[in-house]
Structure 1
Amino acid sequence: MRHSGDNGAVPKRPRRRGRRLLVVLAVGALLAGCGLVAGGYYFDSVPTPTDLKLPESTTVLYADGRTPMAKLGAQNRTIVPYEAMNDSAKEAIVAAEDRTFWTNRGIDVKGVLRAAWANVSGGQRQGASTLTQQYARVAADLRGVTYSRKLREAVIAWKLDDKYSKEEILGFYLNTVPFGRGAYGIEAAAQTFFGKTVRRDAPAAQQLTPTEAMVLCALVKQPEADPADPQGAPGYDPRRNALAKQNSIDRWNYIRDGMVKLGYLTPQQAADLAYPDTVRPIDRDAGRSDLDRPTGLVVNHVLAELRETDAFRGKPDEVIRDGGYRIVTTIDKRVQDAAEAAADIRRDTAPAAVRGQPKNWQAALVAVEPGTGRVLGYYGGDRGSGADYAGWYTDEQGQARGFGQHPPGSSFKVYDLAAAVRDGMSVKQRFDSPDTKEFPASGRTRGSAAGPIRNAEHASCQPNCALWEATVASLNVTYFELTEKLGTAKVIETARQAGVGSMWETVRGNPRPQRVDLRDDPADELATHFSTEVGIGQYGITVQDHANGMATFAAGGRRADAHFVRSVTKGDDEVWTEQLRQTDLGLDAEAVNQLDWTLRRVRAARLDNGWDSAGKTGTWQAGQSTTKNVHTWMVGWTGALASAVWLGTTDGKPLRTTGGSYEVYGSTGAAPIWRQFMTRATAAMKLDAEKYRFREPAFPGDTPEPSPSAPVPSSSAPSPSASPTGSPTASPTPSSASPSSSRRPGPRPTLSPSLTTPPGGPPTRTRGPR
C-alpha cells in the first residue's frame, strides 16, 4: 500500500531512486575511504596496547599496607593484568558494550553500515564502536564524532585485532576506560564505588561481585553528568540523583539480559540477582586534594625521602606520582588519628585546655617508634598545602620547605641531663641553685646587657638542689651551670647523637634564624655557632627531631634515623625498602635508669593509664617579657612510644587565651595535648604496659630515693611569686657559611639554611626559658 503525501499526490519514483543512489554512493565512499585509510595507516606508528604508557596513580598507604592515605598522579588508575582479574567485569563489560566482541574482527561491520545510513540520511550520528574501537579511540587520542576519526578508529581496531588476542585487548580496555568520580580503569572504579578489588587472588569478600561489576559497566555509557544539563542528563552514577539511579537500574537490567544471551548467566541465575544498593556515596570533599589534609604533610616528607633513594634520585616527581607504585608509609592510622584528635585544636576532640582559643594558636605533634625511627604520627598543621609547623622537607627543586623550628626552652634540658649521666654524673649530685646567679665565663653578669641567669621556678630544695630536683623544678640556674661544666660542644653532640639534626642560630644582622646542620661537622666547630644558652633551649629545633631524640632515650640510648617510608612496590616487584639501622648514644643501663627515674617525676609527664612515662615541659618567652610566652612544649616517652608536642602561635605573637590571660606554659598548653595523645595512642595500639616498665637505678653508695608517687617539687605551673626574668644573650656571630643538609636516606644536597617563615612573618625574638 502506498501512502499519499500531504497534498494527496504520490511521490515521483525518480526522486526516490535518486535518494537511494546518493546513499549507496555515500556508503561506498565510506567503505572506500576505510580501505584507503587502512592502506595509509597500516604502516604508521600508532599506539598499541604495549606502546601506550598509561599514567597510573601511585597509592600512598598507612603502615598496615591496606588503608589508603593519598592517591598521587594525574589519573586515579591502578592497572591489573587481565589474568589477575576475576570474571565479573570481563563478562559485564562485554554484555554492556560489545556483545559480538569475541567473534568480531575489531569492528562491527553491520554497525558501521547502520551508522553510515543514519549519518548520510540525516539521522542521529551513531557510534557503532566495538570495545576494540573504543580502546583504539583512547590509544590514538581520537576525539569527536567525525568521519575521519571513525575511519582511523576502525583501521587501528583492525590492526589491534590482527596483532593481539581478544584477552589482551579486553584487559587493556578495562584498565583504560573512565568510570566516573575520577576513576580510570576497573580496579580504581571498584575501589572508588565499592571499596573492593577485581583481583582474583584477594579474599572472596573483598572481590568485586557480578552485580557490582554490572553497576560499574553501566557507568561507561556516560561516566559523568552532562555539565550543560547535570540534572536532566546526570549519567549513570546511582548516588548522583533519582534519575541517575533509574538510568543505572535500567542499564543494569540491560546488561543482565545480555549476560543471559551470551551464556554467562542462566535465566534462573539472572532472576535471582538483585541490584546492589551498596554503592558508596559521592565524596563531596573529593575535590579537596589529599595534600590539603593533615596527612598531606606526610606525603611531602615521603616524596622528599624517596627523591634521595637510589630508585628515584634525579628523577622528576611525575615518575613517582604517575608510576603506579604502592608506597607504604610508617604512619600508623591509629596513632595518626590520635595525633590529629589531640593536636588539631580547632576540633572538639582536642583537650579542653586548648579548645576554643584564638585563631593564631597552633599546635604540632610528632610520634616516633623507639628503636626503629619510624614516624608513627605526624601533625604539622591542618592542611598539607599550608605551613608545616612540625618539621621541614625538600621540594623537587631541592629547596627547604616548612616552618617546624621553635625554641624548645626547658624541654631541651633532657639532652643536658643525658650528657651528664652519660659522663657518670649522678642525678643526686647537688648544685648551688639560688634564684639568681652570675656566670662570668658566659658573659652573664649584672653588668652585662643580658644580666645574670634567673630561675623561672622556685623549688623547696633551694638554694642547694640535687640535679633531679632541679630537673623536676626546671631550674635555669642549675642547668646553665651544668652546661658550663659539660661544655656547649658536649650538649650539642648529645642532642645530635640522640636525633636532633638541625638547630637554628641567631646571626647578627639577619632577622631570621639560620639553620645549622648538626650531622656532618665536628661538635667543637658546631659549638662556635651557639652560646651556653643552648643548654636552656634558646635555639630552635624541630618537633620531629625532638620526637626522635625522645625515641632514642625510650630505646635505652639506641638512636635510629627518623623516616616516613617502609616500602615501595610496583606490582609484585619490590622497588625500595626501609633501611633500619641504629647507633648507640653510649648510655649504660644505670644512666638510662637514672634518666627515666628523674623524668618520670615531672608531674606533667604522668599518665593515668598505668604506663611508666617520662618527659619534660618547656616554655620560651617573648622578647624581654617575663610574663608572656610564645612557645610551649611537652616531650617524653614510654617504652613503646615517644612524642613531642609544640604549642605556639602562627604569627609569633605571645600566647593569649580568649579570656585575655597570658598564663600559658608548657604544663598548661602543650602537656594536656601530649597526655591525651599518649594515652589514646597507646590504647589504640593495644600494647601491654607490663612489657615496657622502667627499671630502678642502683644509685651506687646512695640511700634509696622516694618512689615516683611521693611528693616532689612540681613544674606543672610556676610559683605566683616567681619572676622569670632570665634573658640569655644572642650567640656570638659565627661564619655565615652553612653546612649542607638533606633528608635521609641518601647523599645530602646543598640547601639554603633559611626555611620558610610562618604566615605572620619571622618569629618574635625570645629571651627566657621555663
Structure 2
Amino acid sequence: MPVLPHGDNDSVDGRPGARVAPTGRKRRRNRVLIFLAVFALLAGSGLVAGGYYVDSVPTPTDLKLPESTTVYYADGRTKMATLGTENRTIVPYGEMNDSAKQAIVAAEDRTFWKNRGIDFSGVLRAAWSNVTGGQRQGASTITQQYARVAADLKGVTYSRKLREAVIAWKLDDKYSKDEILGFYLNTVPFGRGAYGIEAAAQTYFGKTVRRDAPAAQQLTVAEAMVLCAMVKQPEADPNDPEGQPGYDPARNATAKQNSIDRWNYIRDGMVKLGYLTADQAANLAYPDSVKPIDRNAGRSGLDRPTGLVVNHVLSELRQTEQFRGKPADYLRDGGFKIVTTIDKRVQDAAEAAADIRRDTAPEAVRGQPKNWQAALVAVEPGTGRVLGYYGGNNGSGADYAGWYYDENGEARGFGQHPPGSSFKVYDLAAAVKDKISVKQHFDSPDTKEFPESGRTKDSPAGPIRNAERAPCQPDCALWEATVASLNVTYFELTEKLGTAKVIDMASRAGVDSMWAVEKGSPQPKRVDLRGKDPDEVARQFSTEVGIGQYGITVQDHANGMATFAAGGKRAESHFVRWVAKGEDRVYEEALKQTDLGLDSEAVDQLDWALRRVKAAKLDNGWDSAGKTGTWQAGQSTTQNVHTWMVGYTRALAASVWLGTVDGKPLRTKDGSYQVFGATGAGPIWRQFMEQATAALKLDPDKYRFGDPRFPDDAPEPTATPPTAEPTTAAPSPSSSSPSPSPSTVRPTCDRRICITTSPTGRPLPTPDLSPTLSPTPSLSPSRSRGPK
C-alpha cells in the first residue's frame, strides 16, 4: 500500500513522510521554547541542577534491553524454545513492513515526522500548570515515550517529565526519525509479556513484521492497528481489572470495545496522515483473529519434552568461559540465538518411541500403568552431539535421563538408574583391550564361589549364582556368556581384570558419574569419575560393579555406546553447536576425540559379540550391536524395577531405560510382572533406531561393521543361547562397607538366575537432587546368598 504525503509536510529527500528540514530561524525558535519549558519546570519543581539531567542521559546504544533468547534445533531454523523474562525479538527498522510503522504514528504521535522530539504545547501546558498550581499534565511524543522507557523513568512527577523532555531532545538531535521509530517499536510493551512489535505480532496473531516473510505470514495494517491500540494501556489495571481492562480484545467485553473504539481512532488518523485513502479505510475490517490469552505464548517449548533439553543447554553454556560467572538471567534475557545439537528428525523418533503414553509407542509398552516411565538418549558417534533426548514428557518436571546444573549452580535431575547387565559392555571392552578373546572359555557353573570378593557359601551374601542353564554351560565362551548374561562369568571376569580397569574403561568411554553406596547414608552418592585415579575410585565400589549394580545415567550410557560405535574414539556428549548475538558468533562447539586404546582387533571382537544379542537386531538392513539389562525388585524372583537396552550402529548410538517413577516393580496392565530388558526397553530401542536411521536417510552399506580377527582358530559355536538376560541387583558394599545381617538380604532373579539385593527405600519426593544427585530409591548394602 503506497504511503501518501503528509499534507503540507514536504519531503527533503523525496520520501513521503520525511521530516522537513527546519530553517535556522525555526530551529532557534524551537530551542527558545524548549528552554522556556525546561526553565518553567525547573523553577516550579525547585530543581536547579538541570545539568544533571543532560549529563546523565542514557542513549539507545547504552541500553541493555532484555531480549528473548531463542533456542533452535540443529538446522538453525526450527525453533525449539523461546526464553526470557520479557518476550522480545528485535527486528531492524529496515526489515519491518510498513503496517506497524504507520499504525503506531497514527495512534501515538501524529506529528512524529514533523516534531523535534518534544510536544512543545504539552510541555508548556505542564509547565504552566506547574507554575499556577494546576494538575500535572502533558502529552508525550513517540520520542518522549521511548526516552521514558529507555531511561526507566517511573511515576508522574515534574522532574520525570523534565528528564523525559531533555532525553527526547537529545535523541532527536542525534538520531534519524527512522532510527527513533525503530527503537520505539522494538521497546514498547504491548501486553501479554510481549515487548516490541515482533513479539506482539507473534503473540497476538502468530505472524511477523518482517517484510521478507511470505505475504500471508506478515502482519496486516488492520492487525497492526489492533496491536498499536494496546500501547495506550498494555495490561489491565491491577486495582480494577474488570473496569479498567485495557485494550486486549481477548480480555473481556469492555476491553474489546475499548480496542474497537481506539482501532477506529487509529483508522481516522491513518486517513488524516495519508496512509490510507477514505475508500481503503471504509473497506478495512476490524480483525477477529486475535489469539486467546496464553501467558506462556512466546516462551514455547519449556513445557514439552524439549524443555529438558533447554535445561541441559543452559547448564552446559554456564560452564563455558564465555558465560561462566554471568548473572542468572544473562543467557535467558540476552537475545542470543542458540543452535543445539538436537536433530528434529531424531527427536521426533525419540519422543514417538519413548513417550509410552502416545499411540506411536511400541505395542509392548503402550498404554501401560501410569507409574511406568521411559528415558532415551541418542548420541552421534565421533562427535558426541546429542541428537535426541527424552527424559520425560514435561519439560519443567523430572528428568529421568540425566542431570544438569540450574541457574543457582544446584544439581537437578532424576536420571541415574542401576544398569544391570547392560553395564557388561564395559567389562567386555576392558577384556578385549587386555587381549582376552571373546572366544576364550570360562568356567560357568550354576553357582560359583569367589573368596577374594567375599562371595562364598559361608558368607552372608553367598556365592554368585546362575539359575538358568545356557546351552554352553558349564564351559562357555565369553561371547556366549555375554549373550546369555551369565553373572558367574562376568563376576569372574571383573575379578580377573580388577574393578579399577572396568571402572576406568566405563569412565573413558563416556560414563562420567556413578552412584556408590555410602556407609550411614540412605541415598547413593554421586562419584565423579572424570580425571580421577582409577584405583582410588575403585575403593568406593566392589566387584559387583561388573554386573551393573551401581547407578549411571541414560545420557552417559548413550555416550559410552557412541564411543564403541566410533571404533573406540570418545567424544564428549554435548547439546550446543553454536551461539550467536546478532551477526556475531560468541560460542562454538569444540569437537575432539580421545582414544580408548582399543585396536581394530579389539573393536571388531567387541562389535562381533554384541551383534549376537538378539534384542539388538534391527529389521531395516542396518548392522547393529547392543546389550540388554535388568534390575530386580526386592525378594521377588520375577519382578523387575528397571530394564535397559543400549546399543549402536556406526551412525547412531542410543540408550533406553524403562522403569517406574515410584520404585515399585514393573507390572503390565494385564497384571504380569514378566518385563525384561528384551521385552521392556528393547522394543523402544529398536523402534527408535529403525525410525531415526530411516529419517536421517543414510546409506546402511556405508556403516557396516568390520570382520573380526581372533587370536586363535577356535570355531564359532553354533548353539543359540537364550535371549533373556538375567537380572542383577542392588549394589554390594565396597571393601569399607559393613556386611548386612542375613535378615536384610533379598535374593533377586531374572526368571531363574538369582542375585541378592537389599530392601529398597522410598524415592525422593522431588527431582531436586542436590548435592548428591541420588534420584532413585535408597539402597542398602547387600550380598547374595544361595538359591531359595
Q: Tell me if TM exceeds 0.5.
A: yes
Percent identity between the two aligned chains: 77
Question: How far is 1:447 from its partner?
Answer: 1.3
What amino acid is the match of 1:729? S
What is the match of residue 729 of structure 1? 732
- Higher mean alpha-carbon deviation, 116-125 vs 98-107, is at 116-125
2:620 aligns with one of 588, 609, 619: 609
What amino acid is the match of 2:556? D
Q: 1:243 to 1:626 in 2, by over 3 A?
A: same
Mapped to 2, the partners of 1:513 and 1:378 lie a distance apart of 25
For 1:751-766, what aligned pairs fall within 5 Å after superposition?
755-758=772-775, 762-763=778-779
Structure 1 residue 351 corresponds to structure 2 residue 362: yes
Contact 1:324 1:570 in 2 (8 A): yes
For 1:135-534, what aligned pairs fall within 5 Å after superposition?
135-143=146-154, 150=161, 152-199=163-210, 212-225=223-236, 235-237=246-248, 255=266, 258-264=269-275, 282-283=293-294, 286=297, 291-455=302-466, 457-534=468-545
Contact 1:430 1:465 in 2 (8 A): yes
Mapped to 2, the partners of 1:495 and 1:648 lie a distance apart of 22
Structure 1 residue 647 corresponds to structure 2 residue 658: yes
What amino acid is the match of 2:732? T
Contact 1:178 1:185 in 2 (8 A): yes
Paired residue secondary structure (1:313)? coil
Mapped to 2, the partners of 1:728 and 1:297 lie a distance apart of 29
Q: 1:702 to 1:217 in 2, by over 3 A?
A: farther
- Higher mean alpha-carbon deviation, 505-514 vs 141-150, is at 141-150
Instruction: Name structure 2 gaps, 5 residues minimum.
Output: 1-35, 739-768
Mapped to 1, the partners of 2:730 and 2:86 lie a distance apart of 55
Mapped to 1, the partners of 2:285 and 2:89 lie a distance apart of 28
2:558 aligns with one of 542, 547, 561: 547
Contact 1:413 1:536 in 2 (8 A): yes
TM-score by length of 1: 0.82
Question: How far is 1:209 from its partner?
Answer: 5.6
Mapped to 2, the partners of 1:543 and 1:620 lie a distance apart of 14
Contact 1:190 1:196 in 2 (8 A): yes
Q: 1:105 to 1:767 in 2, by over 3 A?
A: farther
Mapped to 2, the partners of 1:438 and 1:240 lie a distance apart of 74
What is the match of residue 66 of structure 1? 77
- Higher mean alpha-carbon deviation, 212-221 vs 548-557, is at 212-221
Question: How far is 1:630 from its partner?
Answer: 2.4
Mapped to 1, the partners of 2:336 and 2:326 lie a distance apart of 15
- Higher mean alpha-carbon deviation, 280-289 vs 515-524, is at 280-289
Question: How far is 1:340 from its partner?
Answer: 2.9
Contact 2:340 2:575 in 1 (8 A): yes
What amino acid is the match of 1:137? R
Contact 1:622 1:630 in 2 (8 A): yes
What is the match of residue 608 of structure 2? 597
What amino acid is the match of 1:489? A
What is the match of residue 43 of structure 1? 52
- Higher mean alpha-carbon deviation, 308-317 vs 591-600, is at 591-600
Contact 2:87 2:298 in 1 (8 A): no
What amino acid is the match of 2:461? A
- Higher mean alpha-carbon deviation, 207-216 vs 405-414, is at 207-216
Mapped to 2, the partners of 1:431 and 1:348 lie a distance apart of 45
Mapped to 2, the partners of 1:337 and 1:215 lie a distance apart of 37
Q: 1:68 to 1:120 in 2, by over 3 A?
A: farther
Mapped to 1, the partners of 2:784 and 2:325 lie a distance apart of 44
Question: How far is 1:178 from its partner?
Answer: 1.0
Instruction: Name structure 1 gaps, 5 residues minimum.
Output: 1-28, 719-723, 736-751
What amino acid is the match of 2:613? V
What is the match of residue 5 of structure 1? none
2:667 aligns with one of 656, 664, 677: 656
- Higher mean alpha-carbon deviation, 481-490 vs 277-286, is at 277-286
Q: 1:555 to 1:108 in 2, by over 3 A?
A: same
Paired residue secondary structure (1:643)? strand
TM-score by length of 2: 0.81
Q: 1:689 to 1:766 in 2, by over 3 A?
A: farther
Question: How far is 1:282 from its partner?
Answer: 4.3
What amino acid is the match of 2:721? P
Contact 2:460 2:783 in 1 (8 A): no
Contact 1:653 1:764 in 2 (8 A): no
Mapped to 1, the partners of 2:62 and 2:553 lie a distance apart of 47
Contact 2:106 2:273 in 1 (8 A): yes
- Higher mean alpha-carbon deviation, 457-466 vs 372-381, is at 457-466
What is the match of residue 88 of structure 2? 77
Size of the alignment, in residue pairs?
A: 716
Contact 2:549 2:728 in 1 (8 A): no
What amino acid is the match of 1:549? G
1:713 aligns with one of 721, 741, 751: 721
For 1:81-120, what aligned pairs fall within 5 Å after superposition?
81-110=92-121
Structure 1 residue 570 corresponds to structure 2 residue 573: no
Cα root mean square deviation, aligned: 3.8
1:584 aligns with one of 579, 583, 595: 595
Q: Deviations over 1:212-266 (max 9, x none)?
A: 5444334323434556776776655466677766765665565455445434566
Q: Deviations over 1:479-506 (max 9, x none)?
A: 1122222222221221111111111222
Q: 1:764 to 1:80 in 2, by over 3 A?
A: farther
Mapped to 2, the partners of 1:162 and 1:152 lie a distance apart of 15
Q: 1:673 to 1:102 in 2, by over 3 A?
A: same
Contact 2:632 2:728 in 1 (8 A): no
Q: 1:695 to 1:274 in 2, by over 3 A?
A: farther
Q: Deviations over 1:526-582 (max 9, x none)?
A: 222222211111111111110100111111211100111111111111111111001
Contact 1:453 1:726 in 2 (8 A): no
What amino acid is the match of 2:509? A
Paired residue secondary structure (1:365)? strand
Question: How far is 1:148 from its partner?
Answer: 6.4
Contact 1:560 1:582 in 2 (8 A): yes
Paired residue secondary structure (2:655)? strand
- Higher mean alpha-carbon deviation, 494-503 vs 29-38, is at 29-38
Contact 2:203 2:298 in 1 (8 A): no
